[in-house]
Structure formats: structure tokens, C-alpha cells
Structure 1
């Protein structure tokens, strides 16, 4: 029986098999896309410079692809995002080259950007890259609005420690090629 060098190979294979067999209905995909746009707009509203940059790209369409998932968004005059009209021609297409959901999660945990193939307008690609590099969701601030500053800070600090530990685990597993053992 052959074994893979990755400790996450089983999860990757399972995700690939499930992803190829289970396809959500169109209404669910549309609803998820709307929720994603709402979330992105929430984050953008906390960054005036990001909104100014997006307003300059008004009406431009960006298509994001990963495996069989496709989403087209466009910038509004207010510097926010909306789903592009059906059949809109993209000015920029970003294809995420990492096929494995586990591989994407691993690179996200390391703080790396996934490999992306870029086709289309170079200036628009530069603006999107700036947004990816500079816009961050301040989870702690949003949480503080709901439960107060001190509990939000405590929860955020705990989450940062958990993420740090997971990053160490993933880094160690990647270096050794085998599952990391707790010490």
C-alpha cells in the first residue's frame, strides 16, 4: 500500500472526491455569493482608501475561479462590490491554481497567498493585489461591538494563540513530511 508524504493527503483526497460528486444547487451558490459580497462590503466599509480605489474601477468586472466555482463581481460608484450581471464579460480573470482545499487551507494558515493565474487588465490586477495586501477584517473590533472590549480582546488573543499553534504544527509537518507529534 502506497503512502503519501503529506500528513494531510487523506483529507485532500476525501475533499477531492466529495467535491467532484457533491455539487450544491444553483440557488445555494447564488446565496453564498451574495453573502460573500455582503461580507466583503462590510470589510471594505472600514477602509476608506480601499473604497476610493474601488470607486475608480466602477463597472469593471473581476472573475474569480477555483475548480468549478466561478464568481463575477464588479465595483460600484460607492467603492463597494456587487455581483456582476449574468453574462458580463470580465475585465480581469483570477484563477486560483491550487486545486486542493486542504492545500489552500495550509497556505492560508501559513499566511501565504495561493498561486493565481491572472488574465486581463494589468492595472485592475494591481488594484486587486493592493486590496488583498492592505485590507484586513478587524474581527476583534466587530466582536467588541457585540460583547464589549475586554471579552472581545480575550477571545481574539486566544484565537491568535490557537492560530499560531496550528501554524507551527503545519510548518513542522511540512518540514518533516510526517504528522507532527505533540511534545
Structure 2
């Protein structure tokens, strides 16, 4: 009998079973997707180059999938994003292939991109990849608008130290775990 590689392996199984049975109501899904689009547009508006790249892809639909979660976005004439109309055919489909929620979180904390299956428009995929690589939310700037520059900078420094410590911890555990996906991470030489 095989033993699970993690004492928390049951959480992945629980997530699979519950996720297949418990689906949120459509209005809740739409509301979460709408809020996600608002957040993404807020971040995109801080990066004019990103808006120019999206403007060139105007009207194209990108569908994101992970397990039972699907979200389709369309590039707008303003170089931003909007929810694609129901039934819109995607020009590009990006499917996250990591099935385990814990594995996905672990990879994200390490700073790794999850493995993604790409189907569709190659140029659109290249633009999405550029956005993922270059667009970052300036949390400190947004926080400074609320609490001021100095406290926001201090909070940002504290958050960066916490993230670095978490990455070192997760990276150390992944190196000790022979079944872990990493054969070394770029964040180790800091």
C-alpha cells in the first residue's frame, strides 16, 4: 500500500470531492469574476505598455481554466479587460495543469509559474506571457494612498521579508522532498 507524500494529502482529495459537488451559485461566480476584472484593470492602468499590447489584441477572447473554474476575458478598445460574453469562442485557452491546490500554492510561493497547457492564437499567448512576466501590482503605492508613504513603505518592507522567509522555508522543504517538482530554484541565490 502506497503512503501519501504529505500528511495533508487528504486536503487535495477533500477539495476534489467537495469541488465537484459544491458549486457556487451563478450570481456569486459572476460577482467574483467581475471583481477580478476590476482588479486586473486597476493593475493594467498602472502600466501603459501593457495597455498598448492589449489594445493590439482588441476583441480577442482568452479563456482561463483550472479544474472546474473557468473565466473568459476579452481585450477592450481601451486596452483593458472585460468579461467575455457567454458563449464567446476563445481565441486562446490557457489551462493550468497542476491539479493539486496545495501544489499550486507551493509553486506560487516559490515564485514558479504553474505549468499551463496553451491552445490557440500564438501571438495572443505571447502577449499574455509578457503581461504575466512584466506587470506587477504596486501594493505599496496603493497602500500609500490610504495610510501615507512612510507607513506603506514600512509595511511593504515587512511583507517582502515575510515572503522571502516563506520562500526560503518552502524552497528548503521542496529540496528535501524527493517527489517535489523542483530541481533547484532561482530564488536560492539571494
Relative to the length of structure 1, the TM-score reads 0.91
Alignment of 1:130-141 (within 5 A): 130-141=130-141
Residue 21 of structure 2: aligned partner: 21
Query: Which runs of at least 4 in structure 1 moved beyond 4 Å after TM superposition?
Result: none
Residue 51 of structure 2: aligned partner: 51
Alignment of 1:33-52 (within 5 A): 33-52=33-52
How big is the shift at 1:19?
2.2
What are the ranges of 5 or more consecutive residues in structure 1 without an aligned counterpart?
179-183
CA distance in 2, matches of 1:36, 1:11: 26
Work out whether residues 98 and 104 of structure 1, in 8 Å CA contact, stay in contact via their aligned partners in 2: yes
How big is the shift at 1:163?
1.1
Asked if 1:144 corresponds to 2:144, the answer is yes
- If asked which structure has higher relative contact order (CA below 8 Å, sep 6+), I would say 1
Work out whether residues 44 and 80 of structure 2, in 8 Å CA contact, stay in contact via their aligned partners in 1: yes
How big is the shift at 1:106?
0.7
How big is the shift at 1:8?
4.3
How big is the shift at 1:170?
1.0
Work out whether residues 50 and 135 of structure 2, in 8 Å CA contact, stay in contact via their aligned partners in 1: yes
Work out whether residues 96 and 116 of structure 1, in 8 Å CA contact, stay in contact via their aligned partners in 2: yes
Residue 171 of structure 2: aligned partner: 171
Work out whether residues 55 and 79 of structure 1, in 8 Å CA contact, stay in contact via their aligned partners in 2: yes
CA distance in 2, matches of 1:15, 1:164: 28
- Count residues with an aligned counterpart: 178
How big is the shift at 1:171?
1.3
Please give the root-mean-square deviation of Cα atoms over the aligned residues, in Å. 1.6
Asked if 1:125 corresponds to 2:125, the answer is yes
Residue 153 of structure 2: aligned partner: 153
How big is the shift at 1:10?
3.8
Work out whether residues 19 and 68 of structure 2, in 8 Å CA contact, stay in contact via their aligned partners in 1: no
Task: Give the 3 Å change call, closer, same or farther, for CA 70–110 of structure 1 in structure 2.
Answer: same
Of 58-67 and 156-165, the range deviating more from structure 2: 156-165
Residue 181 of structure 1: aligned partner: none
